[in-house]
Each structure stands twice: as C-alpha cells, then as structure tokens.
Amino acid sequence: MKKRRNTKKTIAQTTTEQNDIRYLFKQFLSIKTSEGNAERTLKQYQENFKFFCEYLNEKNRSFSIETMNTEIFRDWVMYMQFEHIQFKDIKTKTVKEVGLKPSTINTRIKTMKVMFNTLMRNRLVDSNPLLHIIKVNEPVELIEVLSEKKINALLAVMDKSSYTTFRDYVLTVFLLDTMLRVSEAVTLRKADLNKEVSLIIVRASVAKNRKARTVPVSKKVVKLLNQLIQENEYSFQSEYIFAVSEFNYYNRHNYNQRLKEYATLANLTKNVHPHLFRHTSATKWLENGGGLEELRLILGHSKYDMVKRYAHIADSSIVIASEKFSLTNFIKI
C-alpha cells in the first residue's frame, strides 16, 4: 500500500522558508516594487542585501529570522569596518584594501533598516533589530571641483565633427549648465524641453527623490540640444535627446568611461566623472552670488544639508570676502 504524504514535514519546510531572511527580502522587494520605487533603488537594495548574505555565509551564520538580533548586526558593522577585504577575488588587484568606506557602510545599514521597517509595517516581523544600530561617522571631505581652465581643456579634446563625440560634448555642457544628475540627463526626452522659456522638466520617474522639478537651461545650451536633436533625426527617430537608437538612451556608465578617456587626452590627473560637473557648477553658483534656495530647487534636494556643503568649499570667494569685509579693514593696526 502507498504511504500517505507526510503533511507535517511539508508544513515544517514551508515554515522554515518563511522564517528565512532571504524569503522575507523577496517579500520586502515585492512591497517596494508595488510602491513604485525607482529601478536603481531596487537594484541597490538587492546589492546591499547580497552583501549581507555573503557575510552570513562567510561567518557560517544562520539565515533564520529568529537569529537576527542587534548583536549580529553590530558584528556585521564591525566586519564591514575592519575585516572585509575588497577585491579579494580580483587577481589584478595586488593591494587588497581592508574595510569599506563609511558612506558605503551607512548605505548598507540604511537598506537593512528600511527592509525591517517595511516588514514590520506589513506585519511580517515583530521587531527591527537595527533600531539601535546607528550610522558610522563619515568624515566630511571637501568636495572637489574643476577649474574653468580644466573644463575648457576637457571640452577642447571632444571632436564635434563626430556624432558620438558631439553627443558627449553636448551632454557635458548640459550637465554643467543644469547641474542635473547624469541619470536624470541621459533620460531627457524632447517633450521635457520647453524651448520657448528655456526650461526642462525632470520627471518624477527619473528624479532621485521621485519628485518632478523644473530646471532652467541657458539659451545657448538649448541651441546645442536642438543641433543634437537634428543629428539624431538623420539616423533614427527617438523621443530621447541623448539617444543611441530609436528606443534607447545613452548609458551613463558608457559616458563615464568615455569621460576618463577625454580626461587622459586633456592631460587631466583629476578623476573626472559626471557628478564632478554638478559639484563644480553648484560651487560656482554660490561663488558668483547665487542663492541657496534657488540652488536647492535646481539640485532637487529636500534639505539644505548637502547644499550648504558647497558653501564651505567656495574658498576663493571666502578669501575675496575676507579682504573686503574683515574688521581689520576698519581699524588702525
């Protein structure tokens, strides 16, 4: 006679799966997807959680949610600070760095906090073991900027007679002019550009904070965008201004790589990357007398914290102001 299926074992297996943090992460990801989180945010969640799972494997820890307490996450933070070896599987990297950057550690802590808060809100777990885990201290470094001389040198090596190089030239000038994030810029559509009033719309779907905003663009840059749109029409019809085909826009990683090549041609030793243009233009805005509130709106920041960092690095304007307004100018010494 055929034996009956062991129903108790099946139930036990199901319970084990549901108590597995990997299963709960899938639930969390599903919730965040349904809430409309940006694709890059979801990808970041996946990358950070994968790193946590690798830690559990390396330390032979259990994946059971019942073992996830404050102690294990404190150990994880300590591991990221003092034990994790970077590039250990890359043979070409002869020097192995130990420990992650504080900003990277804090991003990974944030992912796990968001995950547990979301699971609690949806009654999938009873508590958040990261409640008392605080961020590690991040040194506030000076933001690097490019001088006008170096910007001109970079633009000078971009051959505008070539379509792909001309597209890089226009994108670079556009980033310097609008201070957009590169992910916001490459997804710009023709419909987002209002040529009449020289404004562009950063759609909520591509904005980092998921909030649409309006950003001014100079008339001479609008002319460059028009030229690029006309060039595009010779090869393909696309709704994107920085297009690579009818349906695809320019890959920001490819652009970043090409910037490195241009920097080498221009004999620039500084690490040139798209975000450097945002830093440079924001700093120059304040140096030239632009307001903090207008800059905050253009950059798309909800708070002044990041915007104020640019105020601390405008060294040249501080020196000029000191010469003009210092008390020693008005007393006999």
Backbone angles phi, psi at 85, to 5 degrees: -100, 120
Residue 38, Ramachandran bin (φ over 0: left; ψ between -120 and 50: alpha; else beta): beta
pLDDT attached to residue 9: 37
| pLDDT tens-digit series, residues 237-260 | 899 999 999 899 999 999 999 999
Cα-trace Rg, the chain:
25
Judge whether residue 268 has pLDDT over 50.
yes
Kindly give the residue spans of alpha helices, DSSP state H, lying in 122-162.
Answer: 148-156
Q: CB atoms < 10 A from the CB of 104, how many?
A: 16
Does residue 292 or residue 56 have the better pLDDT?
56
Bigger pLDDT: 318 or 22? 22
User: What is the pLDDT averaged over residues 278-306?
Assistant: 84
Report which of residues 65 and 308 the model is more confident about: 65
Residue 316 has a pLDDT of 53
CATH of 11-121, one of 1.10.150, 1.10.3470, 1.20.120, 1.10.357: 1.10.150
The CATH class, in words, for 148-322 is mainly alpha
Q: What is the mean pLDDT of the chain?
A: 86
197 Cβ partners below 8 Å, 6+ apart?
none
Structure tokens at 166: 């001309």
158-171 pLDDT, tens digit per residue, is: 999 999 999 999 99
In this predicted structure, the answer to whether residue 15 has a pLDDT above a threshold of 50 is: no
Dihedral (Cα; 316, 320, 323, 326), 10-degree rounding: -90
Segment 51-73 shows an average pLDDT of 96
Share of the chain above pLDDT 90, in %: 65
What tokens does 106 get?
A: 């804090």
pTM summary value: 0.70
Q: Quick one: pLDDT at residue 59? A: 96
Asked whether the predicted pLDDT for residue 18 surpasses 90, the reply is no
Res 5 pLDDT > 50: no
pLDDT at residue number 14: 39
Q: Is 172 helix (H, G, I), strand (E, B) or coil?
A: helix
Q: What is the pLDDT of residue 10?
A: 36
* Percent of the chain with pLDDT strictly greater than 70: 83
The whole-number pLDDT of residue 322 equals 58
Q: Per-domain residue ranges for the chain?
A: 11-121, 148-322
Specify the 3-state DSSP secondary structure of 278: helix
